[in-house]
Structure 1
Amino acid sequence: MKLYALCDADMLRYRGVDLLSFAERAKVLGAEILQYRNKHADIATVKTDLIALRRVWESFLVINDHYELATFCDGVHIGQEDLYAIDPDPIRAIKILKMAIGEDKIIGLSTHNSDEIKIANTLDLHYIGLGAYRATSTKLEAKVLGDKLDEIAALSNHPVAVIGGVKLEDSFNYVTYKVIGSGLL
């Protein structure tokens, strides 16, 4: 199982951890993907952070939500709300997103249940995020899937990145990536 590092700017600030130190720690642990999420900064700050991360991160770098900054990384990860904000038809939304970011960029989509996975199976994606596995302080509203997660992951036609309260020692049968955020610290 591969490691996917979720670099959440708010969590790093809360814990007093430097952005590049987090990236270095993820690299040491063998993470193959680093997703940068910054929900509260202005676009210029997010861009500056992506440029700094690109200098130290040679593997896949993915931006959360800010697809307008995809030129500074290898792809974008969007949530369900972001998908439907692009277009009410998810197939058309992904086509529009691909036109905006380019065909060479990867796209990941958050999913939370079997219905969302069934829709994701019809979309031209590179992976899905599925969760939450456990309760987490970064998404208090997340529905916890617990032991049902592996069963739901088996429904996906795409590689699955399990998210939400995941620990390095967790093991799954139908999951490609374990998404670890503050657990890397």
Structure 2
Amino acid sequence: MRLYALCDQELLDNRGLSLEEFLDTAKLHNAEILQYRNKNADIAFIKQQLIFIRKNYDGFLIVNDAYELVDFCDGVHVGQEDLKAIDEDVFKAVKILRSVISKEKILGISTHNEEEVFQANEMDLNYIGLGAYRDTATKKDISGVLGSKLDEIASKSKHLVAAIGGVKLDDSFSSVTYHVIGSGLIK
């Protein structure tokens, strides 16, 4: 299993954990990628957190949504709704994002079903997040849980696939490159 650690600031705050504690746990589990997500802070705070992570973590660093901060990390991850906020046409939105973040940076998007995976196959991406695998308390807006269908749908992607949503350290997939785990790391 290859680990993609999702560091959600709201979850850290709710559990009284520091960013440093999360990084220690991610390193303990050999996380290759860390995504920093903060849906509530201003850009200056997110930038400060990215700088701290970069100083204390050697793996790939991805920022969620805040593509204007891509110079402080290795790439950007964007959800479907956030893509549509850039442009209603998700293909155009990815082209806009790619022009902003350049080819040297990682670009990933969330997908939730076979149709979105097929759309992603036509986009200039490095990976997709696919899920939710199971229900999770950290996401309130899960529209559909894929369960055992996740692996089959993942096999249709031309991009690397990161399983998202309720994934646990002991889950096993054959068509998935990364397990994205956030709350499961910090119990």
TM-score (norm 2): 0.95
Distance in 2 between the 1:161 and 1:63 partners? Answer: 15
Distance in 1 between the 2:147 and 2:54 partners? Answer: 34
Question: Deviations for 1:80-103, whole angstroms, at most 9, x for unmatched residues?
Answer: 112222223333322211221222
Answer yes or no: is the 8 Å Cα contact 1:80–1:111 preserved in 2: yes
Instruction: Show the counterpart of 1:148.
Output: 149
Q: Mark the runs of 5 or more structure 1 residues left unpaired by the alignment.
A: none
Match status 1:14 vs 2:14 = yes
Answer yes or no: is the 8 Å Cα contact 2:7–2:36 preserved in 1: yes
Match status 1:113 vs 2:87 = no
- For residues 1-185 of structure 1, the aligned pairs below 5 Å read 1-142=1-142, 143-185=144-186
Shift of 1:167: 0.6
Distance in 2 between the 1:102 and 1:147 partners? Answer: 35
Secondary structure of residue in 2 paired with 1:149: helix
Answer yes or no: is the 8 Å Cα contact 1:90–1:123 preserved in 2: no
Secondary structure of residue in 2 paired with 1:76: strand
Q: Report the more deviating stretch, 33-42 or 137-146.
A: 137-146
Secondary structure of residue in 2 paired with 1:51: helix
Q: How many residue pairs were aligned?
A: 185
Secondary structure of residue in 1 paired with 2:148: helix
Distance in 1 between the 2:94 and 2:122 partners? Answer: 10
Shift of 1:20: 1.6
Q: Mark the runs of 5 or more structure 2 residues left unpaired by the alignment.
A: none
Distance in 1 between the 2:140 and 2:90 partners? Answer: 26
Tell me the C-alpha RMSD between the 2 structures: 1.0
Secondary structure of residue in 2 paired with 1:109: strand
The letter for the 1-side match of 2:101 is I
Answer yes or no: is the 8 Å Cα contact 2:138–2:183 preserved in 1: no
Secondary structure of residue in 2 paired with 1:146: coil
Distance in 2 between the 1:112 and 1:20 partners? Answer: 31
Q: Report the more deviating stretch, 142-151 or 82-91.
A: 82-91
Shift of 1:42: 1.1
Identity %: 61
Secondary structure of residue in 1 paired with 2:172: coil
Distance in 2 between the 1:12 and 1:80 partners? Answer: 24
Question: Deviations for 1:25-81, whole angstroms, at most 9, x for unmatched residues?
Answer: 101211100000001111111111111111011110000001011110000000111
TM-score (norm 1): 0.96
Distance in 1 between the 2:106 and 2:13 partners? Answer: 27
Distance in 2 between the 1:183 and 1:156 partners? Answer: 25
